[in-house]
Amino acid sequence: MILVDSSVWVDYFNSFQSSESHLLDIYLGQETILIGDLILLEVLQGVRKDTDFERIRKNFASFQQVNLLNTSIALQAAQYYRVLRKQGITIRKTNDCIIATWCILNQIPLLHRDRDFDPFVDHLGLKILNPEQPAL
């Protein structure tokens, strides 16, 4: 079971060949792919054509949907943000803080291509999928 960040989905749907989109291609059909509500929002709000919007929306409907935010996640995400900020690290996007927190608390690996997740790996125990070692 893995959560895939919008940074990878955007590459995947735009046919951009990153090591992360390639890894996603490998895991499709082999692993349970989770789609977070915030990730769904991030991907779909950037789609320009109505036909692409519908295609991607239907594609996402085939994966297990999860809600990434509730009160306990919000409180823990705020704490994680504060812990990192005290170390001089500022997370640029609130959504990334929520996504990382959800993954940490649920012990679900994250597939991403966004440097804002690195402090969560280095300091808070976020598990990620490494494109260099694709076995789960």
For position 25, which CATH number holds?
3.40.50.1010
In the chain, what percentage of residues exceed pLDDT 70?
A: 97
- Do 108 and 128 form a contact (C-beta atoms < 8 A)? no
- Which phi and psi angles does 17 have, rounded to 5°? -85, 85
For residue 7, tell me if it sits in a domain.
yes
For residue 133, tell me if it sits in a domain.
no
pLDDT digits (tens, 9 = 90+) for 15-42: 999 999 999 999 998 999 999 999 999 9
| Confidence bin at 66 (pLDDT 50/70/90) | very high
For residue 101, tell me if it sits in a domain.
yes
pLDDT of 132 > 80? The answer is no
Q: Rounded CA gap, 22 and 8, in Å? A: 9
pLDDT of 135 > 90? The answer is no
Q: What is the CA radius of gyration of the chain?
A: 15
- For 9, the domain range is 2-124
For residue 131, tell me if it sits in a domain.
no
For residue 130, tell me if it sits in a domain.
no
For residue 135, tell me if it sits in a domain.
no
For residue 129, tell me if it sits in a domain.
no
Give me the pLDDT at residue 29, please: 85
Split into its structural domains, the chain has a count of 1
